[in-house]
Structures are given as structure tokens and as C-alpha cells.
Amino acid sequence: MNQNSRWGMTRTAMGILFALSLSHCLNDLLQSIIMAVYPLLKEDLLLNFAQIGLITLVYQIAASVFQPVVGLYLDKKPNPWFLLVGMGFTMLGLMNLAFATTLWWVLLSVFFVGIGSSILHPEASRLTFLASGGKRGFAQSIFQVGGNLGGSLGPLLVALVVAPYGRQNIVILCVFCVIAMVSMIPICRWYKRVLRVMKRKHQVAEVQSESPLSKRMTVFAIGILLLLIFSKYIYMASLSSYYTFYLIHKFGVSVQASQLFLFVFLFATAAGTMVGGPLGDKIGRKYVIWISILGTAPFSLLMPHVGLAWTCVLSFLIGLILSSAFPAILLYAQELLPYKLGLVSGLFFGFAFGIAGIASAVLGNMADLHGIEAVYDVCAYMPLLGLVTYFLPNLKAKAQK
């Protein structure tokens, strides 16, 4: 019997899933504003690439280190209104970012935004599971596609609303914080009802369940999954943090045009995310991970050696293929530890953000020392780490035995 059945939630709560996806969309839209305004921050505050990397590092640490902590806390003490608290932190950070005049002020601003993200991801991922009605791959992809779609829209809004008129216009985009809070209210009320049912049935406490693998193999598989996250997000960091600088330097495009190219890449990641979860339900998570990470390598290796048009095409294909990996990796991990949903979600979301932050700092220093193009020459090889997928046990095959 799966956990949804234990709680009497055998039907997929589609309205809640779409509300969670919308909340994720708006959250990641707001989060993506940080990286989209990097060219403006660099120009306004006369920053170098190393300082840009430091901004990303502080943001990602806030958005990563706290995620497992939040997930573990809410596994033990569920709170139906925590999503609203997270969005409050995000709004506070963005309002400060709009008017920051020093690097330290910027770092404090992005720290608050990161805290908002660290609250939303593990909690919303847990609620996605509860609302899935057993259709976990489908539900996780609905949730993830909202985030990736929002992440792709952020740079587009910055190009239209902020870049032409000044960084202070970030305040206008804070209206999306209010919309997000309104969309979270029915989710919080639904979760409050769910918690009441769970308490009535004495099922709020942690339920012990056997993992499909031995403890030793579970630890080994988690390690492989984290290595795959490592390979994926180092390459993603090179595109999300420095792609606009790469295009401006190599091809001489304007700041506004570079944001549109970044939108193309991020939109592709939103489209690709929708595939990973349901496909993993059908053919197994392991095969989706194979295809999504290792399958990106030919395109990543080719991209540093082509012109602007082909760079745009290849970045789209890379985003489309690579983005399907995360839902499959997260669901694989949740299936290994099915009753630690908050902790697992926080660990994997948090590790992804942390790796991206550290990678951005390292890549920023590399760009200062060796040039921005060297970043893409080196990072092109990261998807080859997808070869370690070979060592993952096939949980779908085990479940069918």
C-alpha cells in the first residue's frame, strides 16, 4: 500500500497540483530575476566576474543549506502556512535588491530571496506528493514545469520592464509576490484539512517502511544521484549565470538581446521538465537519467565552436534534454526513502542550488583569469559524468519482480 492510500488520498487533486505549479512558477520567476539583472548590477556597482560569482554563491547557500533543515523540521512538525512565510522573505529580498548601492547590500538582499526559495521547495514538493493520488511522475512534472516556466519568464520580464528603465523597477515585479501569496491560500487551507485527517487517523508521526534496496545500496544509490546532480548543475550554472556575458562577449549582442537568448534556453528547460516524470513512470527513472544527462554531451561539446544562430539552437536542445533529469532523480530518491519526503526533497533541491552556487563562484574566477569562453570549453565535458548512471539499480525492474 502506498503512502497516499494510507492517508485515504487515492484521487489526484488536480486543482491543488496546478496551484502548486503556479506557486512554483511565480517563485522561480522571482528567483530568476537575480541572475537576469547581473549585467545591470555589474554596470551599476562596477563588479567583476568573481564578485558576480560571490553573489550567486551567497544566494545559493541560502537557498540550499536551509532546504534539508526546513524539510526535516516540517517532516516532524507540519505547518500549513509555511509557504506564505517563504514568499514574504522573497518579497523582502527583491525590494532591497532594487535599491542596493553596495555589494554587501546586494548580498543581504539575495540571501533573503534564497531563504524564500529554501522554504518553498521542500514543502511544496511534499504537498505535490500528497496531491498526486499515486501518479507521482505526472505530479512532480506538473510541479517542476511550473518552476522552469517561471525561471524562463524572469529574464524576459527583466528585458522588458527592468533593463530599459533601471534596476529600481524590480519593485514593480514584486506584484508577483502578492499573486503568489493569493495562489497559496487555497493550498494552505487544503493542507490544513489533510493534516486534520492525518491526525484523526494517527498518521502524522513518521511511518517506517522498508526501502526497496538494502541500507548499503541505498546509500550508494543516493551518492550516485548526488554525483549526477553535480554534473547537471555545474553545466546549468555556466548557462544560467554567464550565458548572457558569453553572448555579449563572443557575438557582441546587446544586454536586452542576451536576455531573450537566455529566455530561449530557460523556456526549453520548462518544456523538457514535463517529459521526465511521466516517462520515468513508464520506462523507469534510470533510463530517463541516462538519456537526459549523457544525451546532452554531444550538444554541449559542440556549442563553443558554432556561430550565434547555432548557439541558440544548441542551447535550446541542451535545455530541453537536460531538464528532464531532475524530476527523475528526485523521484528515484523519494522511492528509496518514501517516508522522508521533506528531507529528501530539501537535500536534492538544496544540493542542486549549492552546487550551482559553488560552481558559479569558481566559474566566475575562471572567467576573470582565462576569459568567459574558457568556461564553456571546460563545462562542455560535464554531461559525460552521466556514464555513472550505469551503476544505479533499476527500481522499476525490482518492483516488477
Between the CA atoms of 244, 249, 251 and 256, what dihedral angle is there, to the nearest 10 degrees? 40
What's the pTM value of the predicted model, to 2 decimals?
A: 0.71
pLDDT in tens, 94-130: 999 999 999 999 999 999 999 998 888 888 888 888 8
pLDDT value for 278: 78
Q: Quick check: 202 pLDDT over 60?
A: no
pLDDT value for 1: 44
- Structural domains of the chain, with CATH: 13-400 (1.20.1250.20)
Q: E strands, 249-382, where?
A: none
pLDDT band, residue 208 (cuts 50/70/90)? very low
The phi and psi torsions of 180 (rounded to 5 degrees) equal: -60, -45
pLDDT value for 230: 84
Better-predicted residue by pLDDT, 366 or 396: 366
User: What one-character-per-residue DSSP string does 326-360 give?
Assistant: HHHHHHHHHHHSTT-HHHHHHHHHHHHHHHHHHHH
* Pairs from 256-263 (Cβ < 8 Å, separation ≥ 24): 256/159, 256/163, 256/164, 258/39, 259/36, 259/155, 259/156, 259/158, 259/159, 259/163, 260/155, 260/156, 260/159, 261/311, 261/312, 261/315, 262/36, 262/155, 263/152, 263/153, 263/155, 263/156, 263/159
Report the 10 Å Cβ neighbour count for 346.
30
Instruction: Report the pLDDT averaged over residues 224-247.
Output: 85
**How far apart, in whole angstroms, are the C-alpha atoms of residue 125 and residue 24?**
10
pLDDT value for 179: 94
pLDDT value for 305: 94
pLDDT value for 96: 95
pLDDT in tens, 10-29: 566 889 999 999 999 999 89
Q: What nine digits make up the cell of 313?
A: 539552437
Mean pLDDT of the chain: 83
pLDDT value for 14: 85
pLDDT in tens, 259-315: 789 888 878 887 787 777 777 777 878 888 888 999 999 999 999 999 999 999 999
pLDDT in tens, 156-190: 888 888 878 888 989 998 999 999 999 999 999 99
Q: Quick check: 8 pLDDT over 60?
A: no
Rounded to 5°, angle at Cα 179 from 178 and 185: 90
Length of the chain: 401
**How far apart, in whole angstroms, are the C-alpha atoms of residue 38 and residue 46?**
11
pLDDT value for 6: 47
Of 248, 232, 189, 224, give the one whose Cα is nearest residue 40.
248
Going from the C-alpha of 318 to that of each of 24, 32, 40, the distances in angstroms are 22, 19, 26
pLDDT band, residue 7 (cuts 50/70/90)? very low
pLDDT value for 77: 79
Q: Quick check: 91 pLDDT over 90?
A: yes
Residue type, 248: I
